Amino acid sequence: MRFAIQVDAKPDALTDARMLEAIASYHEELARAGVLLDANGRTGHAIIEAKSREEALEWTRRSPLPARLTTET
């Protein structure tokens, strides 16, 4: 199943170099796990392919910014 992870961040969080590095690392982790389909750290979303809603929620909890699972397709 495909899921969208939506980031709830203040605009200045997406300009902080350390935070951008953390987001990039998170996206790399998703990619290494083979679940990442699409991501854009600057607009705060990632589309993942997970076996279950529970797995998708676990990935959401790992986000360096406050995030929520917003879409299931």
- Res. 71 pLDDT band, cuts 50 70 90: low
CATH code at position 30: 3.30.70
Give the count of domains, the chain. Answer: 1
Please report the pLDDT score of residue 29 as a whole number.
Answer: 97
How buried is 65 (Cβ within 10 angstroms: 0-12 exposed, 13-18 middle, 19+ buried)?
middle
- Sheet with 45-49: strands ordered across: 36-40, 45-49, 2-7, 67-72
Give the residue among 1, 13, 25, 9 at the shortest CA–CA distance from 68: 9
Residue 54, domain extent? 2-72
Please report the pLDDT score of residue 73 as a whole number.
Answer: 57
- Per-residue pLDDT tens over the stretch 6-33: 887 777 776 788 888 988 899 999 999 9
- Res. 41 pLDDT band, cuts 50 70 90: low
- Per-residue pLDDT tens over the stretch 45-68: 899 999 999 999 999 999 988 888
